[in-house]
Structure 1
Amino acid sequence: MELTNKIAVITGAGSGIGRASSLKLAGEGATVVLVDFNKETGEETLKLVKEQGGEGIFVQADVSKDEEVQNYVNKAVETYGRIDVFFNNAGIIQKFAPFTSVEESEFDRIMAINVKGVFLGMKYVLKVMEEQGSGSIINTASTAGVRPEHSVAVYSASKHAVIGFTKGAALEYANKGIRINALCPGGVQTALTASVATQFEKGGYVPEEISNMRMGRYADPKELAEMVSFLASDRASYMTGSVVLVDGGLTL
């Protein structure tokens, strides 16, 4: 197994792409440190990992809080001695709304998790990886970080920021044995995307344009997990600063 003896930290591990990737990385031999704000779903993912013969721990954390990010990084190092893979995945979606009706509190909520959370995770994990002289970081961006989606400009800006972090840090650490890449999903069948339909039904606002799922379906989170596994492994040894679209042709 390609990731045997590797220690992988996954944020947003309690559901969706995070859970699927946790199971995939553990299945490839990695020992996993699962991080999520939701204790119940995070521990459920850990149970699933152990049921398939994997090993790991769960750490509850709000990724937008500096001390809680330091805590999950410290727990990983205290327990396992190193961090080889960091799937910096935790994120939230914006409520669809016209630009001028977005509340400042909504802006702050999106930026705290999607931007600050990614920044803090990278900041503390990179310190560990630089000392090791190796590591792979995968940041979850979005197709909305490559091109905008209608009525979610703040979300789009947050994911553009993730791509900016990815490229900027990849440039800094390219000669230090650390690879940093961004994963850009399109529509994925998760609780987050399911909530969008509910927003349309109950919120009374529907965007003028809705993206075309060109393959006629959303992705299964397991399909994204395959790319996470690839980017985490030595198969992607010459990739850094890459923005990888796994979107079923959504951006075409």
Structure 2
Amino acid sequence: MPDSQRLAGKTAIVTGAASGFGRGIAQRFAAEGARVAVLDLNEAGAREVASGIGEAAIALTADVSDAASMDEAGRQAIEAFGEVDIVVNNAGWSHANRPVMEIDEAAFDKVFAVNVKSVFHAVRTFVPHWRAIGRGVMINVGSTAGVRPRPGLSWYNASKGAVNLATKTLAVELASDKIRVCGIAPVIGETALLETFMGVPDTPENRARFIATIPLGRMSTPADIAAAAVYLASDEASLITGVNLEVDGGRCV
């Protein structure tokens, strides 16, 4: 446990928290003193992560692309915690890495529903609450794909570009309400979507090809993204809003 808990007394919801970056963020937030709602479409996975964290966590099941589902999750979190200080929009999805003409409409719709519409729903669910309590922090997990796009993930890249820009415009519009909105742009990481992003089997040789494009010489990890999220959510970042923090080992330079 850290000597000084940077999120002591705060409450948070982390979406897509049953695995990967979301699980790492939820675990680190709790270690830093926050009470955390572990939200995921995967009910069993959310419960497992929340159980591992202990009394500081609750599990919520919701579809981030559905307004009613997110509203209900928000209601449950506010009922459990009294108020919600921080929302981390981490849940994401990608179509397979392949030429743009091979991506069908269903894949396009899903990638924008999960990656972009989820932020829309989170705004609609939590901004009224934050206006009522006079503060709030939203952290949107974008991607370096929305900063330095590459072939094969065209509509995923576009969805993350939308998230990155939404972060900036929301930050400007909501600043007068004392609501901060920040983003994190991870480089490719060791998550369940790794093979989807690469478009090739996860072999040491294929990993090496991707790692060679990252100046610091490694992929991102949940711990890397969690550390960035803790800082942006903490009072140390009270004057920071509208940034998209690139956690990328120099990939976007």
TM-score, normalized by the shorter chain, greater than 0.5: yes
Shift of 1:149: 2.1
Distance 1:119 1:97 in 2: 28
Give the drift of 1:195. 4.4
What's the counterpart of residue 52 of structure 2? 48
Q: Distance in 2 between matches of 1:244 and 1:201?
A: 29
Query: What corresponds to 2:163 in structure 1?
Result: 162
Q: Return the offset for 1:97.
A: 1.3
Q: How does 1:194-213 map to 2 (within 5 A)?
A: 194-196=195-197, 199-201=199-201, 212-213=213-214
Give the TM-score, by structure 2 length: 0.91
1:90 equivalent in structure 2: 91
| Structure 2 match to 1:6 | 10
SS for the counterpart of 1:191 is coil
CA distance in 2 between partners of 1:215 and 1:194 (Å): 21
Distance, in Å, in 1 between the alignment partners of 2:64 and 2:148 is 25
Matched, 1:32 2:36: yes
State the secondary structure of the residue aligned to 2:110: helix
Cα deviation, residue 210, structure 1: 5.7
Alpha-carbon distance between aligned partners in 1 of 2:48 and 2:195, rounded to the nearest angstrom: 20
Does the Cα contact within 8 Å between 1:119 and 1:165 map onto a contact in 2? Answer: no
Report the equivalent of 2:249. 248
Question: Given residue 56 of structure 1, which amino acid in structure 2 is its aligned partner?
Answer: A
- Cα displacement (A) at 1:218: 1.0
State the secondary structure of the residue aligned to 2:164: helix
8 Å Cα contact 2:96/2:196 also seen in 1:
no
AA in 2 matched with 1:20: G
Post-superposition offset of 1:213: 2.6
Q: Give the percent of matched residue pairs that are identical in Structure 1 and Structure 2.
A: 35
Structure 2 CA distance, aligned partners of 1:95 and 1:196?
Answer: 7
Q: Which residue of 2 aligns with 1:101?
A: 102
Q: The residue matched to 2:84 in structure 1 has which SS?
A: coil
Deviation at 1:145, TM superposition (A): 1.2
Please show how residues 131-210 of structure 1 align to structure 2 within 5 Å: 131-196=132-197, 199-201=199-201
How far does the alpha carbon of each residue in 1:166-203 deviate from its partner, in whole angstroms, 9 at most, with x for none?
11111111121110001100021111114445x4249x
Tell me how far apart the structure 1 counterparts of residues 214 and 44 of structure 2 sit (CA, whole Å): 32
SS in 2 for 1:58: strand
2:251 aligned counterpart, secondary structure: coil
For structure 2, the residue ranges without an aligned partner over 5 or more in a row are none
| TM-score with structure 1 setting the length | 0.92
Task: Give SS of 1:200's match.
Answer: coil
In 1, Cα distance between equivalents of 2:14 and 2:20: 12
